Amino acid sequence: MTVFPCLKISSRDLLRFYQEAFGLRLVAVFPPEGEEVDHAQLRLGDGAIMCGTRGATEQPLGATLTYWVLPDAAAVDALYARAIAAGATSVREPYVPDYGGRECGLADPDGNGWSFGTYAGEPG
């Protein structure tokens, strides 16, 4: 099974922000031009999100939180610094949670939450 977090975004500018701030790679966007985005897909490693300015539901902006697993603590720190430099808002600076690993919390310009960390979940 594959799961795609789906974000409602305010404009096509968020696609550029995700690429610059978080290093996501734009895989698809429809329509290819214009301000409205019916569907976009972005990837980071094995993970992906889908997003658009319109949708079947009236999800409010800023209502989504995603968690991305990174390979090590250095990657968490580097992504946090990159995202802050690109204009992301810090929700929580990189830290070591009680369950181990390292993670940080950020918000995009629409208020969606982005967590990046090394904790890959418990096996099983």
Sequence spans of domains, the chain:
6-117
pLDDT score, position 102: 98
- The answer to whether the predicted template modeling score (pTM) of the entire model surpasses 0.85 is yes
Residue 7 pairs with which residues in a beta bridge? 51
Identify which of 109, 61, 103 has the alpha carbon closest to the alpha carbon of residue 84. 109
Over the chain, what is the mean pLDDT? 93
The CATH superfamily holding the domain 6-117 is 2,3-Dihydroxybiphenyl 1,2-Dioxygenase, domain 1 (3.10.180.10)
pLDDT score, position 3: 86
65-69 and 89-95 beta bridge pairing = unpaired
pLDDT score, position 62: 87
> What value, to the nearest 5°, has the Cα angle with vertex 26 and ends 60 and 22?
70
